[in-house]
Structure 1
Amino acid sequence: MTPLLSPQADALATAMDDLLAILNRTADLVAAGDAVEFAGLEDEATALCNAVVQLPPQEARSFLPRLEDVLAALERLETVVRKANELTQGKATVGRAAAAYRRAEDPDVG
């Protein structure tokens, strides 16, 4: 049985659920190759986690599943961003190698 939350904890639960949705949507966008602005995500996640610590212990414990979900979403986002960066760097390397090859072939190019 889920304990009843205070109005403060209920609002915090809603904000944390919203953050989770944002993290998942952001990971989906990055995976699709879209450019994404990350400004504010870390600050929001930190503020919400700090707010959980300020709750009475019983209410704070009820946030454990949400915190685990947020952590999993952050880990997924990190993985997707790393993969996107690797793909982008790989394309840049191929482009630079092709340009260098063209210059070596024809000094008047590039």
Structure 2
Amino acid sequence: MLYLILLSYQGPLSAVDAHLVAHRAYLARHYAAGHFLLSGPREPRTGGVIMARADCLETVEAWVAEDPFYVAGVAAYEIIAWAPSLRAEGMPAEFAPQADVA
């Protein structure tokens, strides 16, 4: 199952930036483990988005609880479970194996 993790910053960017190095290390660990597929800031910079792959929501919730932004209280999180039914021809099937090619 795919999950979209939507982050919304709480407070000034200076508070967020104080935890940015630790947040990037957290992201790197989850990319190395194969959990995270895509991530980046929203435009304008009001938060971020992470696309993750996991077997269940509880796993994703546990990952979020480890995020330095979450621990510091500088971001609020929304987790959306997502089961894509269509994908572009060039999109790797491993991202959405159940999705048909459009």
TM-score using structure 1 length: 0.29
Between structures 1 and 2, the one with greater strand share: 2
Larger radius of gyration: 1
TM-score using structure 2 length: 0.30
Between structures 1 and 2, the one with greater helix share: 1
